[in-house]
């Protein structure tokens, strides 16, 4: 029995050990074109978010990263009270930042 290869005449084939319906080259290219459009649109949206919300998002990111570092210090130490305090402070800090 001849082993099927990816995108051979049969629609189902074995690609990297997985059963896959490869379809036609045009279907594959259309799928890639759709994906490229989505990726480009997301990149363009990121530019606008950065311009409109970048400064406040930077504040939220900084607060979140600092809280995460503290969280893991307490988590590693098995300090549930410390974890709860970090989460409470994070919620307060985020609420304050969102109101600015």
pLDDT tens-digit readout, 4-39: 445 555 544 445 555 555 668 999 999 999 999 999
Supply the pTM of this predicted model: 0.61
**Bridge partner residues of 10 (DSSP):** none
Q: For residue 28, what are the domain limits? A: 8-37
Residue 90 to residue 76: CA distance in whole angstroms: 19
State residue 80's pLDDT score.
97
State residue 17's pLDDT score.
54
Q: Is residue 42 part of a domain?
A: no
Residue 87 to residue 89: CA distance in whole angstroms: 5
59 and 94 co-located in one domain: yes
16 and 57 co-located in one domain: no
Q: Is residue 15 part of a domain?
A: yes
70 and 98 co-located in one domain: yes
What is the per-residue burial (b if ≥16 Cβ within 10 Å, else e) of 11-47?
eebeeeeeeeebeeeeeeeeeeeeeeeeeeeeeeeee
Which stretch of 8-12, 40-44, 86-90 has the lowest confidence by average pLDDT? 8-12
Residue 15 to residue 36: CA distance in whole angstroms: 23
**Residue from 19, 14, 18 nearest 3 by CA:** 14
Count of domains for the chain? 2
């Amino acid at each position: 029995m001849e082993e099927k290869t990816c995108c051979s005449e049969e629609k189902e084939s074995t690609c990297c050990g997985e059963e896959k319906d490869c379809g036609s080259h045009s279907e594959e290219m259309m799928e890639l074109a759709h994906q490229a459009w989505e990726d480009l649109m997301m990149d363009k949206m990121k530019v606008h978010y950065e311009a409109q919300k970048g400064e406040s998002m930077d504040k939220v990111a900084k607060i979140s990263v600092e809280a995460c570092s503290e969280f893991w210090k307490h988590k590693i130490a098995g300090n549930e009270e410390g974890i709860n305090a970090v989460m409470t402070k994070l919620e307060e800090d985020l609420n304050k930042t969102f109101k600015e």
